[in-house]
Structure 1
Amino acid sequence: MDTEALRSFVRAAGLGQLRRAADELGVTQQAVSKRIAALERELGVRLFTRTARGVELTLDGQAFLPHARSIVVGVERAVAAVGPGSRALRIDVLGLRSAQAVVLHEYWRSHPETGLDVVTLRVDDPRVAVAAVEAGDIDASFRTVTAPGTLPPGVRMVRAFDSPLELLVGPRHPLASARSLTPLQLRKHRIWVPGIAPRSEWAEFYDQLVTQFDLRIDAAGPHFGDEVLLDTLADSADVATLVGARDRYIWPTGHDLRRIPVVNPTLAYPLSLVLPRTNPHPGLRRIITHLRGLPRLPEPVWLPSWASAPAYADAGCDSAHDRDRDSG
């Protein structure tokens, strides 16, 4: 099957016009039309219907599109893997101050020759990030699908690392002087986590945390940004929040905020990396090897149910600390 015909089909489907597809591919509209016609003859189906505004996919075209897109992305990755000056590894993180970004920065500092493009998709639903990986828009995403059995066939998850939580409080909070805290000591204290997005992985995480430890998680109000959250904590005698131990926060010296580890058990958020099941970017192998080398958390550790569910392993996830498995 002609990969250039597949590429022409994918671009025409995405743009809705043969002329625009031809312009992007650097060929004539007639060439694109001939490629698609040859592809339709080979498949024995019509892929497009012509309209006054351009082209629209038929039902057969809609069914064929994701497979054609996967082939095109695979070919492009294969060429990039062996070509000089191959493109940078494009990875989505939740935020540039997140633990994921911090760990990637640590990796890059020890491997400065790595071409790395760190992006933030700014989406709450992990399925949107999965779709971006499947489409080849990004090479990987630090997201978790808590029901891994629902992942599309061309995508898998690997366990990245577990991020321990800390309580962040202002100087007037009753727990401010503690060197460490147990989950039991957090009960009845207001833990403000504004803007928990429905259907997000962290919404399920906090639901399980509340159920397990009877914590008072307050998600009231929109999240107006870290600065507003930090200002509120600095001025409050009863509001606290939970943050990842590796998450970076910057506040004025006068805020005198304190980060207090939560232990016995350590509360940890399991982070995963979503990547293509076949033809992943060659730079991902070294990233995964680096993740597997991160220190284990001190026991005991509490993790949400999906981190140990059998379906998690069935979906192709590897533990970041299971050194006997292939890193893919």
Structure 2
Amino acid sequence: MDLDVAQVRAFVRTAEELHFGRAAATLGISQQALSKRIARLESLLRTPLFLRDGRGVSLTGAGQRFLRPARRTLEAADAAVASVTREERPLRVDVWGHLYAPTRTLAQVAGRAGTWVLGHGRDLPSVTDALLDGGVDVAFGRVHPPLRAGLTHRLVRLEPVDAVLGADHPLASEPSLRPDQLSSGVLWAPGPLDRLDFLHRFADRFGVRARTASVNLGLAHFLAGIAEDPRRFALLPADVPLPEVPGLRSVPLVDPTPLYAWSLLWRTGDGHPGLDRLTMACAAEARRSRWLEYDPARDWLPEPPPGSTAQVYPGSTPGGTRADAPAP
């Protein structure tokens, strides 16, 4: 059975759009031509790939199973063409944890990492699916176990975390705070804590029993909720620019300083040359900006690595690219 790449591409695009008209438009062909390609593919495979009814288009069970290997087939075909024409497809990068502004870090390496396109941002489970399905090449955010088979990650940055308080909070005038001083406050989270690994572990570690969640409608809306209760506080990486919300104060946390870990995540065996350039650019910036310094006597990580001596994480010193590293 020989697959026609044009038919496979028509299937994948329709599976992504779940709309025949939009899929045809993105491929630059008529809807009739698109339908014929998919019909021929379904005939070859002897099974329907889409359900078509008055409510729209959806994948059948066979279509769902076919999607991931179909994407990989297209990747292989595109790579074969690129090897001859010397045309390189841009690296597809996605992010998650958008409330913590992951693109701040990527912006510092963008000029040295070759050509890449940025996705719209998802949560970690969705990003994992997209990586395994071949929809994106690499993603950036906080990685935490368990990590699904077939993925590799590399630590890029350890960023100090500040407490954000309202002006009426009892600790708002302090120049710095220990995390345990927040134990009598109310942790204000941008969603259920069981889906926010870092905040969940912080609250457990430092005895914050009172926890409440908002709907994540963006940073300004999230931080405006702090003013509604003078006991509330939020946690944000230190470099996140705060919006113009009256009465907010960002206070450094010390003894220990919580660190938020940013990592690159990609599919094992991905051969896109842009991935090497991106990891090398991140490692160079980590050395220059001292992004990866960690001292267990001074800092706190949810999942600290083995050992008790001050260290600089893998990736902050010269060496091989795309090496595995701990994922705090």
C-alpha distance 81-251 of structure 1, shift in aligned 2 (>3 A): farther
Cα distance, 1:107 vs structure 2 = 1.4
Aligned match of 1:120: 120
- In 2, the alpha carbon distance for the partners of 1:268 and 1:251 equals 25
For residues 36-63 of structure 1, the C-alpha deviation after alignment (integer angstroms, 9 at most, x for no partner) is: 66x65xxxxx45489997x998877765
Distance change >3 Å, CA 199–CA 90, structure 1 → 2:
farther
CA contact (8 A) 2:165 2:248 kept: yes
Do the aligned partners of 2:188 and 2:233 also contact (CA within 8 Å) in 1?
Answer: yes
Residue 180 of structure 1, aligned match among 171, 176, 196: 176
- Correspondence 1:162 to 2:158: yes
Quick one: which amino acid aligns to residue 116 of structure 2? L
Give, in angstroms, the shift of residue 265 of structure 1: 1.8
Give the equivalent residue in structure 2 for 1:88.
90
Q: Structure 1 stretches of 5 or more lacking a match?
A: 41-45, 310-317
In structure 2, the CA distance between the partners of 1:59 and 1:225, relative to structure 1 (3 Å rule), is closer
CA shift, 1:101, in A, is 0.6
Alignment of 1:237-316 (within 5 A): 237-252=230-245, 255-293=246-284, 294=286, 295=290, 296-300=292-296, 301-305=299-303, 308=305
Equivalence for 1:101: 103
CA distance in 2, matches of 1:266, 1:227: 25
Distance 1:319 1:2, change over 3 A: farther
| Correspondences of 1:14-163 after superposition (within 5 Å) | 14=15, 24=27, 46-48=46-48, 63=65, 65-77=67-79, 79-80=81-82, 83=85, 86-94=88-96, 98-108=100-110, 110-111=111-112, 114-121=114-121, 123-124=122-123, 126-144=124-142, 146-149=144-147, 151-153=148-150, 155-163=151-159
| Aligned alpha-carbon RMSD (Å) | 4.1
How many Å separate the matches in 2 of 1:224 and 1:190?
20
What's the % identity of the aligned pairs? 25
Report if aligned partners of 2:283, 2:317 keep a CA contact under 8 Å in 1.
Answer: yes
User: Is the counterpart of residue 190 in structure 1 residue 183 in structure 2?
Assistant: no
Residue 205 of structure 1 corresponds to 198
Amino acid at match of 2:212: A
Any stretches of 5+ residues in structure 2 without a counterpart?
Answer: 307-312, 324-328
CA shift for structure 1 position 88: 3.5
| Displacement after TM superposition at 1:199 (Å) | 5.4
Taking structure 1 as the reference length, the TM-score comes to 0.71
Q: Note if contact 1:95-1:120 (Cα within 8 Å) is conserved in structure 2.
A: no
Q: Secondary structure at the match of 1:117?
A: strand
Give the direction of change, closer, same or farther, for the CA distance of 1:81–1:218 in structure 2 (3 Å limit).
Answer: farther
- Is the CA contact (8 Å cut-off) linking 2:11 and 2:38 kept in structure 1? no
Q: Tell me the distance in 2 between the aligned counterparts of 1:52 and 1:223.
A: 34
Partner secondary structure for residue 264 of structure 2: strand
Deviations 1:193-237, CA, capped at 9 Å, x for gaps: 2x424653x2x3222222222124522343454323433445764
Cα 1:246/1:327, change in 2 over 3 Å: same
Q: Is the 8 A contact 1:13 1:57 kept in 2?
A: no
1:30/1:160 Cα in 2 relative to 1: closer, same or farther (>3 Å)? same
Q: 1:84 to 1:304 in 2, by over 3 A?
A: same
Q: 1:97 to 1:16 in 2, by over 3 A?
A: closer
> What's the CA shift string for 1:137-170, capped at 9, x where partnerless?
3222224553345x243x3333232232101123
- Evaluate the alpha carbon distance shift between residue 213 and residue 65 of structure 1 in structure 2; reply closer, same or farther with a 3 A threshold: same
Partner SS, residue 260 of structure 1: strand
| Residues 1:56 and 1:167: Cα distance change in structure 2 (over 3 Å) | closer
- What displacement does 1:271 show? 2.4
